[in-house]
Amino acid sequence: MTLLKSWVSSANSADHPFPLNNLPYGVFSTADTDPRCGVAIGEMILDMQAAEHSGLIDLGDVALFDVPFWNDLMEEGPAVWGALRERLTALLAEGSAEQSKVEPLLVPMGQAALHMPFMVSEYTDFYAGRNHAFNVGTMFRGPENALPPNWLHIPIGYNGRASSVVVSGTDIRRPWGQLKSPDHDLPAFLPCRRFDLELEMGAIVGVASDGPITVKEADDAIFGYVLLNDWSARDIQAWEYQPLGPFQAKATATSISPWIVTKLALEPFRTDTPEREFELLDHLKDCGPMLYDIDLSVSLAPEGKDATTIARTNFDQMYYSSAQQLAHHTTSGCPMNVGDLLGSGTISGPAKSERGSLLELSWGGKEPLTLDTGDERSFLLDGDTLTLSGHAQGDGYRIGFGACSGKILAALADPYAR
């Protein structure tokens, strides 16, 4: 696969995130329009509501784009997902006979504000990156017992809070919480002191199910992917997580990138899961190359200063694919719905510079990072802007995700003041 050329010339650059090969789905508004679905092409956004109203997009009897989210399109299922992609590709390709009809429906990206691209039904976060699990386990239990006994047999996950998911660009308020310092006997209610990021990918479920599904069925049910930052209050987590797992430590916010990159756009970048010392049970086995070769990076910019890249890694570092996570999620009969979001778990490579959280990068705060600005960081400080970036590198083109960014605001002086 090489670059597909579009008559939208800004889409034809080798390093632009949104060439014709990508066509990611978002929700935008302008000074003149309410939030509505749009497709990114180069520096422009195709207004899907206008495209549907004009008849240029016609996917059947039902209007799918009178709503400011992509869930209605997802509900139509994979055949319609494929038909839409084919139609968009034809409309926007160099030489399209319909260029003159489509051109008036394009909005410059610079004039658009971006919103949540879909309604999150429920949110689950996994813990399926081996280097991350090993690093965290080593800090808490030593390297011999770093991975829990179940870790190599099932993708460990926990349910998160859908209500906490926000779009990139949303400020993140440092939370309060109940903490216990190692040097105190009793806990106190204080602003979080160890606020952290987690570099993850989010998979969006596009096909509902009501009982166990195979890994292949799960792969077919995934609509697309976003970058995901699972903001984490490490001191709240340390005090609360035994015995039932993280709760308030993960409930302040989870940021996602604003463009859903479809599974269809990522097909050329599939890659294999790693070798395993224990064969997976049949219902979790790979059904083909299930991971994706997606370069990922994390940057941190102190207030008013330049950003430093603090980590680079790749989505191919996962031990379990999103499809395997979804298949496991259904084993008990758990009903899954369109719009369910699955966080991959923190993605860390084997090298120190490839770690996807400050907890790992600063080794629990013992080895602070020095940024290019000379500032030191163990955890996030107020005013820091944290940005996740990602793209798959094709032959002369990229499938980009757009940034997943958030700025840390100071904790409220009194969270109960009214």
Catalog residues that contact a second copy under the rule CB under 8 A.
121-122, 127, 148-150, 153-154, 156-164, 173, 175-178, 180, 186-189, 211-214, 233, 236, 239-249, 251-253, 278, 281-283, 328-329, 331-337, 412, 415-416
Q: Which residue, 248 or 297, has its beta carbon nearer to a second copy? A: 248
Shortest reach from residue 104's CB to a second copy, in Å: 38
Q: Which residue, 63 or 188, has its beta carbon nearer to a second copy? A: 188
Q: Work out whether strand 36-41 and strand 222-229 pair parallel, antiparallel, or are unpaired.
A: unpaired
Measured CA to CA, the distance from residue 190 to residue 100 in angstroms comes to: 59
Measured CA to CA, the distance from residue 377 to residue 325 in angstroms comes to: 33
Measured CA to CA, the distance from residue 161 to residue 397 in angstroms comes to: 36
Measured CA to CA, the distance from residue 116 to residue 25 in angstroms comes to: 11
Shortest reach from residue 59's CB to a second copy, in Å: 27
Angle ∠(172,173,176) on CA atoms, nearest 5 = 135
* SS3 per-residue string spanning 253-300: CEEECCCEEEHHHHHHHEECCCCCCCCCCHHHCCCCCCEECCEEEEEE
Who contacts 78 (Cβ-Cβ below 8 Å, separation ≥6)? 206, 207, 220
Q: Which residue, 171 or 272, has its beta carbon nearer to a second copy? A: 171
Q: Which residue, 209 or 385, has its beta carbon nearer to a second copy? A: 209
Cis peptide before 35 (omega within 30 of 0): no
Shortest reach from residue 351's CB to a second copy, in Å: 24
Measured CA to CA, the distance from residue 315 to residue 348 in angstroms comes to: 9
| Of residues 360, 323, 361, the one with CA closest to residue 342 | 323
DSSP summary character for residue 140: H
Q: Which residue, 105 or 249, has its beta carbon nearer to a second copy? A: 249
Who contacts 20 (Cβ-Cβ below 8 Å, separation ≥6)? 3, 4, 5, 6, 8, 11, 41, 89, 92, 93
Token pair 């996740």: residue: 388
Shortest reach from residue 248's CB to a second copy, in Å: 4
Q: Which residue, 108 or 187, has its beta carbon nearer to a second copy? A: 187
Q: Which positions are catalytic?
A: 132
Shortest reach from residue 242's CB to a second copy, in Å: 5
Shortest reach from residue 337's CB to a second copy, in Å: 6
Q: Which residue, 239 or 363, has its beta carbon nearer to a second copy? A: 239
Measured CA to CA, the distance from residue 7 to residue 392 in angstroms comes to: 22
Shortest reach from residue 99's CB to a second copy, in Å: 44
3-state helix, strand, coil in the chain (%, to 5): 25, 30, 45
